[in-house]
Structure 1
Amino acid sequence: MAAADLAPQELRILVAVADEGGFSTAAVRLGATQSAVSHAVRGIERKLGVVLFERGRFGARPTPAGERAAAHARRVLRMLEALAADVRDADTGESSGPLRIAAFRSAALHLLPPALERLAERHPGVEVTVTVVRELGAGTAGEVAAGRADLGIATLSGPPPAGLVGGVLLQEPYSLVHPAGHRDPRALPLVDWAENCGSYTRAWWAAQDWIPAATVSAEDDGAVLSMVGSGLGMAIMPALSLTGAPPAVEITDLGPDRPHRSVGYVTTRELATTAAVRALIRTLRSLRTPTPERAESQVREV
């Protein structure tokens, strides 16, 4: 036997065990017995010729091969769903079926809502779910690569990761954010959060001798804005994070050499051809803007 002999139900079992971290919990999810799930996994491992899970008191932990196999299984199962939806859509001319989106926080708050509203108006049959993912490590692109999302709204610093395709939606500039009316905001301590200032701005950031090391580390950009508005410090933040910034903060342009962050989408090659994903990409592109409107209206020059 070979991997080509794997049936959809075997793929579902593989994904369930990887997701649940154990045979018994996967069995509950699948409505099967633990022995049946364990037997099925052993059969899958024989077909693939590799151990997919480490067994122990902790349950069943995917090996590196198991992680890769589960990612492929999720993507294959998703394509079977997409096949059914696209066949129906070919007759109706509509886009329908599930659409799973992974987005980092500021994109989920400020970029996606108008796009999803328009998508719902044009394609009411598309069933959207959104997962907010911290843009650290693999980030939203990792969710797509692992088969847990169909499309990710991601920060891009170059071509998409191997096996994925994508494109830039907007370039958001960074600005200095500080308590409104402060006479010398650059003298304030720096408030920051882990997702800020990736490789996109690192060189610029290192060249600024006026930016101190962060003395306050917040959970996310919303917490940073709250702290800055309370007078606890200043921050360097991208435009999406500043959409709808409160009156207690002031946004100052960092000048012509200010850094920018590329925000775009990533998806798999196979899902890029499906009607629902194509409809969302078209909608995102139709709404994109170089600088989010609310943030731009608040920016003043140094």
Structure 2
Amino acid sequence: MTTHFDLAALGMLVAVAETGGFTAASARLGRTQSAISVRIQDLETQLGHKLLVRSRRGVTPTDAGERLIGHARRLLAVEREALTDLGGDTASGRLRVGIPDDYVDAYLRPLIARFAAEHPRVELELRCDLSKRIEPALAAGEFDLAVVTQDPNRPMGEVLRREPLVWVAARGHRPELQETLPLALFSEGCRARPRILSALAMAQKAHRLVFSCSHTSGMLSAVEAGFCVTAITESAVPASLRRLGPAEDLPALFELSVGLIIAPQPSLAARRFAEALREEMMTTQLAA
């Protein structure tokens, strides 16, 4: 029996357990699902224990798997500490990140300064765009990492969190009282837009589009002016707006899945940024 662990395989096991499946773990690690599966099977053979169980709910650890994951996290933490101590874990170079601009304030603003302080040799480059344009751009090599609103019919990447969409209007204004609801929406290509319009149509709520914009700042400015309402992610609601709902005769909305996609063979900078982003998302969700 082998007396040493394959730390890369342990990292794969932890990733599968944390993301709930091989597809999401593959997106996180930038490795194929088959490669991850083979390495975990090798671990199972080495230890003589089944570590993961597949079901309709996803992939979950067995009792032995849970015990090993606890040890694996500690071993991987020691490895990172050793690399950092010996100077072999210094991220550097340019890191290109694609993200819709409504997610920048909600997710990236809290961690950008911290990441820059911890990784001074990384040049961080953000580009904001619609998710449907970010995904092919990443596939073409234009980004190292992307945060997107997942397409519910063809989700890509690992799910970072699920964001409720909520109706909002300006404080001191009541545009929702108009017989025909004046509506502001992101430009065509926004993945939430057709679903918002569908929700209004199914509720038989009369509405008209009075403003359209590709940037959050423009959208919020229109709503804050008081002549329209919109629907945005819950974490993006500023203090200047008030939330609306059934009391205002507006239909219930839905959740968006926020996904993280990492380019194949990611750089150390991309892996470190992804780790920081996952930690930030988990912290803000627990605090919500």
TM range (shorter): 0.5 to 0.7
Partner of 1:150: 144
| Contact 1:175 1:236 (C-alpha < 8 Å) held by counterparts | yes
Q: Secondary structure at the match of 1:121?
A: helix
Please give the per-residue CA displacement for 1:239-278, whole angstroms capped at 9, x wherever unaligned.
2442x342xx32235699531111121122322xx32111
Partner of 2:254: 259
**2:136 maps to 1:117:** no
Instruction: Name the amino acid aligned to 1:232.
Output: F
Q: Secondary structure at the match of 1:111?
A: helix
Q: Secondary structure at the match of 2:257?
A: strand
Number of aligned pairs? Answer: 198
Partner of 1:167: 158
- Rounded to whole Å, the distance in 2 between the matches of 1:282 and 1:229 is 35
Partner residue of 1:229 out of 218, 224, 228:
224
TM-score, length-scaled by structure 2: 0.58
Partner residue of 1:95 out of 81, 91, 96:
91
- Evaluate the alpha carbon distance shift between residue 220 and residue 181 of structure 1 in structure 2; reply closer, same or farther with a 3 A threshold: same
Partner of 1:141: 135
- Aligned-residue Cα RMSD (Å) equals 3.4
- Segments of structure 1 that go 5 or more residues without pairing to the other structure are 1-87, 297-302
| Contact 1:190 1:216 (C-alpha < 8 Å) held by counterparts | yes
Please give the per-residue CA displacement for 1:130-188, whole angstroms capped at 9, x wherever unaligned.
112233xx421122111111011111134877xxx621222111111113244572534
Partner of 1:250: 242
| Contact 2:199 2:251 (C-alpha < 8 Å) held by counterparts | no
Task: Give 1:192 shift.
Answer: 1.6
Partner of 1:192: 185
Percent of residue pairs identical: 24
Please give the per-residue CA displacement for 1:11-42, whole angstroms capped at 9, x wherever unaligned.
xxxxxxxxxxxxxxxxxxxxxxxxxxxxxxxx
- Rounded to whole Å, the distance in 2 between the matches of 1:183 and 1:109 is 26
Partner of 1:207: 202
- Evaluate the alpha carbon distance shift between residue 258 and residue 97 of structure 1 in structure 2; reply closer, same or farther with a 3 A threshold: same
- Evaluate the alpha carbon distance shift between residue 168 and residue 186 of structure 1 in structure 2; reply closer, same or farther with a 3 A threshold: farther
- Rounded to whole Å, the distance in 2 between the matches of 1:211 and 1:225 is 22
Partner of 1:270: 265
Task: Give 1:279 shift.
Answer: 0.7
